[in-house]
A and B are shown apart, each in its own frame.
Chain A
Amino acid sequence: MAQATPGATILELKDVSKRFGEFYANRGVNFDLRAGEVHCLCGENGAGKSTMMNMLYGLLEPTEGTISMDGAPVHIGGPRHAIDLGIGMVHQHFMLIPVFTVAENIVLADEPTQGMTLDIKAAEARVRELSDRYGLSVDPSARVQDITVGQQQRAEILKALYRRARILILDEPTAVLTPQEIEELLRVIGLLRDEGMSIIMITHKLKEVLSIADRISVLRRGEMVGTVPREGQTEASIANMMVGRDVLLKVDKTESIPERPVLTVQDLWVKDDRDLDAVRGASFEVHAGEIVGVAGIDGNGQEELVDAIAGLRPIQRGRITLDGEDITGLSPHEVSEAGLGHIPQDRHRRGMVLDFDLRENVMLHDWDKRDMVRFGIIDRAASAERAETLCDMYDVRSGGGIGSRAGSLSGGNQQKLVIAREIQRDPKLLIAAQPTRGVDIGAIEFIHRRLVEERDAGTAVLLVSLEMSEVLSLSDRIVVIFEGEIVAEFEGGRVDEQRLGMAMIGSGDGHSVPGQAGIGGALAGPEVEETPA
């Protein structure tokens, strides 16, 4: 790694703007990066962080302003040029080719050769050397599609190191990681900084910002709100800079009053797309008036569990009842009629039709309802009225009112629309799968409040989330799913991130709730510890 004088400014953006038509994605941005620092860049979705980084990586050209490196203005013509300048970027959605090996991915476009042929041995040796040096353990000959997300990220970082990056841009690097992997990543970032690497880390997880940043810059609506040293900052102060007002970070809720069981899942077995057992004998209940959070690392059967309950995936074995009615094997429509509201994990694929307008999206469920459809013809006035009401109540902001294409809305507004539609149906059970994925802090606050309100109105809420903080702050009860089994159960508010994280990787000490242990069949970990009452 090239050594610059620690603390010297190696990269500077001066009055940089990027305009798309009339819209400024960045306006008059000033930013500087010092050698050997970790500089966190925060901001809500659409604040212009990605635009700024894409300009640094040569994917976009600034409309105005200058970018300088080591004091001299540069024009970054493309990714190749950025790489040559020593800029490496780990994209939020990894730029790895699943069918290639780790080494092939890392050396791609800078391959070691022997005569005409690709020298894969040399490539693997070089990768091994780098991975040993920085403690980024990953098998160079493994295919990317077969390794964990954490390992894939290490491969991405190695890709930048292999290209001799001295500036490393990390775009939302912790969004997909487990707590243990996050800790590991932060350790690696610290190590790289000590070696003289200058790091820009984009994130909206305030806790991480406070633990790793040397300085913090905040973007809001394309403009730089300010750059501050970490000392003296709190989560609240940064959130305030990001949103421009005080944000309620903690969910405000009372003790739950669970009533009758609404959802009961008994010994449920479900297969995934590859025909392997994804859910293996899961049993649990969700009562009216409580939020049950399903915690787990991505890919441990959450998706299949939700699909099975919603009737979207066949069940191998087991029984599901909704408010006393057996819904095992019913079609999605029948399950929904039986009282399920479903906020799906992937709103683009399952939550809405992006090419439909808001009015059409709001009435997707109602193709057979008398109040929306008469003699096979959609009642435009009635559906428009409902769409107007919901957009109003849920503060769904769009460019052109209810006639806007759903695809043109921001992620947060799309999600609010889906949530509005599902809640207005007055479901007995509401499944919220990753309800705040890709959603701004402001909208997260709103969505969380609505979910708690639904609970208070007597709905049973099943929350599935990969965000531990979300599970912890919303749930009245938490079940942990690991390799398709419910391996632990906690009372909400009685468990911390550390213990929950351990349970999520299958080595937990989660205590059982009486009568529950035997049904799930598998409490991982030899010791079952009772939480003091």
Chain B
Amino acid sequence: MKEFVDVWILGLGLATLTYGTPLILAALGGLFSERSGIVNIALEGMMTAGAFFAIYVSVQTNSWFFGLIGAMLAGMVLAAVHAVATVTFHADQIVSGTAIILIAAGLVNFLNLTLFGSEGSPPDISSPWKVGPADFRVSVLVPLAFLAVAGTWFVIFRTPFGLRLRSVGEHPRAADTVGIDVARMRYTAVLVSGALAGLAGAFISFNVDSYTENMVAGNGFIALAALIFGKWKPVPVMMACLLFGFAQGLASRLGGVGWLPDAFQSPELLNALPYVITLIALAGFVGKAVPPAAVGKPYIKH
């Protein structure tokens, strides 16, 4: 019984939080951006940059806190590129996002090799505090992510800033005619998006206290799926992220279960589980998700 609780309740709970937290942070980032009308498929790239710079800055300053700041700034730099391309120059948001993913992957791998060399980052680095009871220790970023959910809900739905942000994502011309600076709102939202995605990346690398190539592994896209599954609303988005996190945790655990047929023990098949659940969720259970009306469309003044 003790073993069952350890493995399947605490273990799976921890795994769900470990896999779910970066999804939550990144999906909230996507929420800010898309609520303002800018599709941000570049979350994946911003997470990759965040994952690397969290470790790099932490090593350089010997402070995980500065590592987090570094990760957020790295995400924001890429976000700024996305904002300049899509808001100022009306570039296609999908194309710009794809370009940023590719640039981030290449650049970060280059920096990783140049700055750390082939042996990678040093083994002992400053890593975020762990909190919680003895057999359920989690990174301080976990409660922070849940606070971010509440904070996002408050900002988006209870403040004048949130009302204006949503107005820009729904009907930018209407916002413009009452004197809201559409471009400024969108820049702000995309930069916030980058900061949150950077933080999400930092969680992933701090989880193992090192950066390895392609460690974000599609989580940016799963966060986007969660954003749609959660219909652009903070709490449902969080639930979607936890579901996807649970699926990943489950996949990582089923490998060692004796009674499963051999075929299901194959790690390749098990690793596909979260993606299969993502697909089924999006195809079958979302119902009609109505995105912000102006999402993906550049706003061109007269």
Q: Mark B142-186, 1 if CB is under 8 A from A, else 0.
A: 000000000000000011101110110011011111111000000
- Known A-B contacts A116-B159, A117-B159; A79 and B171 likewise in contact (beta carbons under 8 Å): no
Say whether A79 contacts B167, CB under 8 Å.
no
Say whether A97 contacts B171, CB under 8 Å.
yes
A80 within 8 A of B: yes
Say whether B179 contacts A83, CB under 8 Å.
yes
Quick one: which of A60, A83, A95 contacts B173, CB cutoff 8 A?
A95
Residues of B within 8 A of A116 (CB): 158-159
**What range describes how many residues of A lie at the interface?**
20 to 34
Nearest residue in B to A119 (C-beta to C-beta)?
Answer: B160
B77 within 8 A of A: no
A118 within 8 A of B: yes
Nearest residue in B to A60 (C-beta to C-beta)?
Answer: B302
Q: Mark A98-113, 1 if CB is under 8 A from B, else 0.
A: 1110001100111101
A100 to chain B, nearest CB (A): 7
Total inter-chain residue pairs, C-beta < 8 Å: 68
Give the docked Cα–Cα distance between A62 and B32 (Å). 37
Say whether B159 contacts A108, CB under 8 Å.
no
Quick one: which of A95, A100, A111, A113 contacts B177, CB cutoff 8 A?
A95
List A residues 295-342 near B (Cβ within 8 Å).
none
- Known A-B contacts A96-B174, A98-B170; A111 and B302 likewise in contact (beta carbons under 8 Å): no
Residues of B within 8 A of A108 (CB): 163-164, 167, 174-175, 178, 180
Say whether A98 contacts B293, CB under 8 Å.
yes
Give the docked Cα–Cα distance between A96 and B293 (Å). 12
Nearest residue in B to A82 (C-beta to C-beta)?
Answer: B179
Quick one: which of A96, A118, A159 contacts B163, CB cutoff 8 A?
A118
List B residues 257-302 near A (Cβ within 8 Å).
293, 301-302
Say whether A79 contacts B178, CB under 8 Å.
yes
B302 to chain A, nearest CB (A): 5
Give the docked Cα–Cα distance between A108 and B160 (Å). 8
Residues of B within 8 A of A78 (CB): 179
A54 within 8 A of B: yes
Say whether B179 contacts A95, CB under 8 Å.
no
Say whether B164 contacts A95, CB under 8 Å.
no
A91 within 8 A of B: yes
Say whether A95 contacts B180, CB under 8 Å.
no
Nearest residue in A to B157 (C-beta to C-beta)?
Answer: A118
List A residues 65-105 near B (Cβ within 8 Å).
78-80, 83, 89, 91, 95-100, 104-105
A59 within 8 A of B: yes
A490 within 8 A of B: no
Say whether B158 contacts A109, CB under 8 Å.
no
- Known A-B contacts A54-B302, A60-B302, A117-B159; A109 and B180 likewise in contact (beta carbons under 8 Å): yes
Give the docked Cα–Cα distance between A111 and B161 (Å). 10
Say whether B171 contacts A96, CB under 8 Å.
yes
Say whether B179 contacts A80, CB under 8 Å.
yes
Question: Which of B159, B177, B293 has the most chain A CB atoms inside 10 A of its CB?
Answer: B177
Say whether B179 contacts A97, CB under 8 Å.
no
Residues of A within 8 A of B167 (CB): 97, 100, 108
Say whether A79 contacts B158, CB under 8 Å.
no
Give the docked Cα–Cα distance between A159 and B174 (Å). 12
- Known A-B contacts A54-B302, A96-B171; A79 and B176 likewise in contact (beta carbons under 8 Å): yes
A57 within 8 A of B: yes
B246 to chain A, nearest CB (A): 31
Say whether B175 contacts A118, CB under 8 Å.
no
A58 to chain B, nearest CB (A): 9
Question: Which of B158, B163, B170, B173 has the most chain A CB atoms inside 10 A of its CB?
Answer: B163
Say whether A57 contacts B302, CB under 8 Å.
no
Nearest residue in A to B162 (C-beta to C-beta)?
Answer: A118
B169 to chain A, nearest CB (A): 9
B295 to chain A, nearest CB (A): 13
Residues of B within 8 A of A105 (CB): 174
Residues of A within 8 A of B301 (CB): 59
Residues of A within 8 A of B174 (CB): 95-97, 105, 108
Nearest residue in B to A95 (C-beta to C-beta)?
Answer: B174
Give the docked Cα–Cα distance between A205 and B245 (Å). 61
Say whether A97 contacts B180, CB under 8 Å.
no
Nearest residue in A to B155 (C-beta to C-beta)?
Answer: A116
- Known A-B contacts A60-B302, A79-B178, A89-B177; A111 and B160 likewise in contact (beta carbons under 8 Å): yes
Give the docked Cα–Cα distance between A100 and B157 (Å). 11
Nearest residue in A to B302 (C-beta to C-beta)?
Answer: A59
Nearest residue in B to A104 (C-beta to C-beta)?
Answer: B163
Give the docked Cα–Cα distance between A89 and B179 (Å). 12
Nearest residue in A to B176 (C-beta to C-beta)?
Answer: A79
Residues of A within 8 A of B163 (CB): 100, 104, 108, 111, 118
Give the docked Cα–Cα distance between A105 and B174 (Å). 9
Nearest residue in B to A106 (C-beta to C-beta)?
Answer: B178
Give the docked Cα–Cα distance between A110 and B163 (Å). 11
List B residues 165-219 near A (Cβ within 8 Å).
166-167, 170-171, 173-180
Nearest residue in B to A96 (C-beta to C-beta)?
Answer: B174
Quick one: which of B166, B171, B175 contacts A109, CB cutoff 8 A?
B175
Give the docked Cα–Cα distance between A99 and B176 (Å). 17
Nearest residue in A to B173 (C-beta to C-beta)?
Answer: A95
Give the docked Cα–Cα distance between A59 and B177 (Å). 8
Give the docked Cα–Cα distance between A59 and B174 (Å). 12
Nearest residue in B to A118 (C-beta to C-beta)?
Answer: B160
Give the docked Cα–Cα distance between A410 and B35 (Å). 35
Residues of A within 8 A of B175 (CB): 97, 108-109
Residues of B within 8 A of A117 (CB): 158-159
Give the docked Cα–Cα distance between A98 and B162 (Å). 16
Say whether B170 contacts A159, CB under 8 Å.
no
Residues of B within 8 A of A83 (CB): 178-179
Known: A95-B177, A113-B160. 12 other contacts (CB 8 A): A54-B302, A89-B177, A95-B173, A96-B174, A97-B170, A108-B163, A108-B164, A109-B179, A111-B160, A118-B158, A118-B162, A163-B178
Interface residues, chain A, with chain B CB atoms under 8 Å away: 54, 57, 59-60, 78-80, 83, 89, 91, 95-100, 104-105, 108-111, 113, 116-118, 159, 163
| Pairs across A and B, CB under 8 Å, 30 listed | A54-B302, A57-B177, A59-B301, A60-B302, A79-B178, A80-B179, A83-B178, A83-B179, A95-B177, A95-B178, A96-B171, A96-B174, A97-B171, A97-B174, A97-B175, A98-B170, A100-B166, A100-B167, A100-B170, A105-B174, A108-B163, A108-B180, A109-B175, A109-B178, A109-B180, A111-B160, A116-B158, A116-B159, A118-B158, A163-B178
8 A-B pairs with least C-beta separation: A80-B179, A95-B174, A111-B160, A109-B178, A97-B170, A97-B171, A95-B177, A117-B158
